[in-house]
């Protein structure tokens, strides 16, 4: 049963890492292609506002996952895991 616990912990960490990579990819796009396209941006330009909106949305996704999704997954797993362990004896 300890293998199941370790597998869950590793899977949860993998999910969090993939989420951060996915959010970073959505924010910046593909970094190599973006670095090739250089364009000046003025402080109040629409491009800058779009980038800020993307950053705010991605930050909200990360906060939502951190506050709601991960704790709910952990609580559900613990309930199922420990009920199986305790009812097995």
Look at residue 57 in the predicted model and tell me its pLDDT: 81
pLDDT of residue 29: 65
Cβ-contact 28, 34 below 8 angstroms: yes
Q: Which domain holds residue 36?
A: 2-88
What mean pLDDT comes out for the span 18-45? 67
Q: What is the mean pLDDT of residues 61-66?
A: 90
Backbone angle region of 29, left / alpha / beta, with phi > 0 → left and psi within -120 to 50 → alpha: left
* Backbone angles phi and psi of 85, in degrees to 5: -65, -45
pLDDT digits (tens, 9 = 90+) for 40-61: 556 665 555 555 666 778 888 8
Provide the whole-model pTM.
0.68
Q: Domains in the chain: how many in total? A: 1
pLDDT band, very low/low/confident/very high, at 32 (cuts 50, 70, 90)? low
């Amino acid at each position: 049963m300890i293998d199941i616990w370790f597998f869950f912990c590793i899977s949860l960490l993998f999910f969090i890492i993939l989420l951060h990579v996915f959010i970073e990819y959505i924010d910046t796009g593909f970094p190599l292609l973006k670095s090739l396209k250089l364009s000046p941006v003025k402080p109040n330009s629409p491009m800058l506002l779009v980038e800020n909106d993307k950053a705010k949305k991605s930050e909200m996704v990360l906060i939502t996952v951190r506050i709601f999704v991960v704790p709910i997954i952990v609580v559900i797993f613990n309930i199922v895991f420990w009920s199986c362990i305790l009812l097995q004896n």
